[in-house]
């Protein structure tokens, strides 16, 4: 008869899974399956098939080797200074303002720094436009003086009069 557990019937495959997951010590096995696993382990070693015994012996040897390797490892315990530093970095103290009233002078830099930057940018743009735009094109009266002056200069260079003197 196969031992029963809270989750169902205990078999050799499940017992090898328990050994691989929880180790060789029965105290670490799940409580709901511990009694059934111990009973099946004892029965399989005493009356099981050679294949079952070999499978359990191999799983038990691997679990004991892993338990031995893990038992020798000890995590270093940090000293008090390191613990305080870790706690201070992980949980910094909340910064509370001593003065809860409205402070206009504290807000002035937040207002004037962006305004000064915009003003400086506009001044630079004005200088750029002032030095690059020809004043003859910006007379504003709609005359085409510059174009006709340049056209007359072009005809004079070729020894011809403009169309106005021919008439």
pLDDT digits (tens, 9 = 90+) for 4-29: 554 457 888 888 899 888 888 888 88
pLDDT tens per residue, range 72-130: 777 777 788 888 888 888 887 777 666 656 677 777 777 788 888 899 999 999 998 88
40, 15 in Cβ contact below 8 A? yes
Question: What per-residue confidence (pLDDT) applies to 135?
Answer: 63
pLDDT tens per residue, range 132-158: 876 665 555 555 455 555 555 555 555
Task: Show the tokens assigned to 92.
Answer: 């910094």
Question: What per-residue confidence (pLDDT) applies to 92?
Answer: 77
Q: CA dihedral in degrees (129, 131, 135, 139; nearest 10)?
A: 20
φ, ψ for residue 121, nearest 5 deg = -65, -40
Question: What per-residue confidence (pLDDT) applies to 167?
Answer: 46
Distance CA 141, CA 143 (A): 6
Check residues 101 and 63 and name the one with the higher pLDDT.
63
Domain ranges of the chain: 12-71, 104-157
- State pTM to two decimals: 0.41
């Amino acid at each position: 008869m196969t031992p029963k557990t809270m989750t169902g019937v205990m078999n050799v495959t499940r017992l090898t899974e328990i050994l691989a997951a929880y180790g060789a010590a029965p105290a670490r096995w799940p409580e709901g399956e511990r009694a059934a696993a111990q009973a099946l382990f004892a029965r399989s070693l005493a009356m099981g098939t050679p294949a079952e015994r070999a499978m359990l012996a191999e799983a038990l040897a691997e679990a004991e080797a892993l338990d031995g390797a893990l038992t020798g490892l000890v995590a270093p315990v940090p000293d008090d200074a390191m613990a305080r530093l870790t706690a201070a970095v992980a949980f910094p103290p909340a910064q509370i303002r001593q003065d809860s009233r409205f402070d206009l002078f504290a807000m002035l830099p937040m207002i004037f720094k962006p305004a000064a930057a915009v003003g400086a940018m506009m001044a630079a743009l004005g200088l750029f436009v002032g030095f690059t735009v020809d004043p003859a094109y910006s007379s504003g009266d709609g005359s085409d003086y510059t174009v006709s002056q340049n056209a007359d200069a072009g005809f004079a260079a070729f020894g011809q009069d403009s169309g106005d003197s021919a008439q």
